[in-house]
Amino acid sequence: MLDCTDEQNLIALWATLPSRTKLPFEWEEYATQHLRDLIVVDSKRRFARKSLRSIAVLSLDNVSHAVYLKDLSRLGVGFFAPLNVLPLKQIGLWLPGRDCLRLRVARCRRLGEKYYECGATFNAPDAHGAPVGDGRSRALR
């Protein structure tokens, strides 16, 4: 079982994963893009997105993939993945310094080779009010 709160374990695992997102630019450029994104104050969205440039580990069907986080809102997470993830698919996402999140994919579109922009929402209650999942897990499976 992985200790999902240990950031050093995340970094070590992320570096060894063969399935990884290929950004069309250098990591340094990507990591500093959030400074430009933070300037946008006038958001017409119901829940504004906060830029969050970092690495993460995606767990999909018991396989881990190295991904890049894009943004975060009260409803979900945006990230770049190396493969197409179908909408409504349940995934695990391990963020630095956080527990593993259980999410449901809302959208995913191809931008390039091994470069898909995805959005996922935190698990919400079903029609009867029972939680589908608490959105958190201590281990990626």
19 within a domain of the structure (yes/no): yes
| Domain total of the chain | 1
Question: What are the tens digits of pLDDT across the range 16-48?
Answer: 999 999 988 776 666 666 555 554 545 666 677
> What is the spatial distance between Cα 24 and Cα 8, in angstroms, rounded to a whole number?
26
The pLDDT confidence band at residue 139, using thresholds 50, 70 and 90, is very low
Distance between start and end Cα atoms, the chain: 8
Predicted model pTM = 0.75
* 86-102: average pLDDT: 90
The reply to whether 68 falls in a domain is yes
> Given this model, what pLDDT does residue 133 score?
46
- Which of helix, strand or coil describes residue 83? coil
Residue 40 lies in a domain: no
- What pLDDT, on the 0 to 100 scale, is given for residue 100? 87
Asked if the structure places residue 130 within a domain, the reply is: yes
Say if 2 falls within a structural domain: no
Residue 51, in any domain of the structure? yes
Residue 107 has pLDDT above 70, yes or no: yes
Helix and strand numbers (H, E) in the chain are 2, 7
Residue 49 located in a structural domain: yes
pLDDT attached to residue 19: 95
